[in-house]
């Protein structure tokens, strides 16, 4: 299958799983997806933004309180892309792109170094250390082994979550499912897992004051 077509299909299915029955994408919605794809925004970040738009705070900012098209999610997708370091994940098509990407990585790792020095809480310090190590390892490998910053952030969040006491993990998981609410009944298994993980990471960021590295 054409990777571009797979990207569009995955984002479409994820959005519709949250929007529920009776919703169809418009030509403008498909143009948005193609724009995100062509802008090298990973589909998992697009899905995270869509999930955030459907979150507790999203509908209250949207006229009518119901999301009927991807246009209503665009702001959230673009915010997520910025928060998770989309600029670092740009394709290296020229020497100028490589220089810019290297500079972005250097800036992120330097910021993480400062956060590590200042952080006294063990689990959060471990998160920053893990993320910095993963970024340096990924950038030091070949192109096939490199990962977008968004994926590295997600993996480091998984490690942070796993390092917490069991009762704390259970509380966070329960809160993530609560934020998802009744939409879970209309979601595919994949969409449900993605949404719970997204809300879980937002809760972790809020509860432990995780700093953005962008």
pLDDT digits (tens, 9 = 90+) for 66-91: 788 888 888 888 888 877 665 433 33
Residues 159-175 have a mean pLDDT of 95
Reading the block at residue 94, the tokens are 């020229």
Question: Given pLDDT bands bounded at 50, 70 and 90, which one contains residue 198?
Answer: confident
**168, two tokens:** 């704390």
Task: Point out the least confidently predicted range of 49-63, 116-130, 192-206.
Answer: 49-63
Mean pLDDT of the chain: 77
Domain chopping of the chain, boundaries: 3-83, 88-207
Pick from 139-153, 158-172, 189-203: least confident: 139-153
207 near 36, Cβ under 8 Å?
A: no
Distance in angstroms (rounded) separating the CA atoms of residues 141 and 147: 10
Query: Quick check: 183 and 18 in contact, CB under 8 A?
Result: yes
* Predicted local confidence at residue 91, as pLDDT: 36
Say whether pLDDT at 106 is over 50: yes
Whether the CB-CB separation of 73 and 67 falls below 8 Å is answered with yes
Lowest average pLDDT, out of 23-27, 61-65, 130-134, goes to 61-65
So what's the pLDDT on residue 174?
94
Is residue 104 pLDDT above 60, yes or no?
no
C-alpha distance from residue 112 to each of 58, 122, 129, 136, 214 (Å): 30, 15, 8, 11, 10
Q: pLDDT for 117-126, tens place per residue?
A: 999 999 999 9
* pLDDT score at 168: 96
Least confident among 38-47, 79-88, 132-141:
79-88
Q: Which pTM does this prediction carry?
A: 0.57
- Mean pLDDT confidence for 130-154: 72
Q: What is the pLDDT of residue 96?
A: 37
């Amino acid at each position: 299958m054409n990777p571009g077509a797979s990207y569009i299909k995955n984002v479409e299915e994820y959005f519709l799983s949250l929007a529920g029955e009776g919703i169809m994408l418009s030509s403008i919605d498909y143009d948005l997806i193609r724009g995100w794809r062509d802008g090298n925004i990973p589909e998992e970040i697009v899905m995270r933004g869509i999930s955030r738009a459907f979150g507790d705070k999203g509908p209250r900012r949207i006229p009518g309180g119901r999301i009927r098209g991807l246009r209503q999610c665009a702001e959230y997708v673009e915010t997520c892309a910025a928060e998770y370091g989309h600029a670092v994940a740009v394709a290296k098509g020229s020497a100028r792109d490589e220089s810019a990407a290297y500079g972005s990585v250097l800036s992120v790792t330097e910021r993480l170094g400062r956060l590590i020095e200042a952080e006294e809480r063990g689990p959060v310090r471990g998160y920053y250390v893990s993320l910095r190590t993963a970024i340096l390892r990924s950038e030091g490998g070949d192109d096939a082994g490199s990962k977008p910053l968004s994926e590295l952030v997600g993996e480091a969040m998984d490690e942070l979550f796993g390092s917490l006491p069991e009762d704390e993990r259970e509380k966070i998981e329960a809160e993530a499912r609560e934020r998802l609410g009744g939409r879970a009944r209309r979601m595919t298994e994949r969409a449900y897992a993605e949404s719970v993980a997204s809300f879980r990471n937002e809760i972790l960021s809020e509860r432990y004051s995780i700093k953005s590295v962008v």
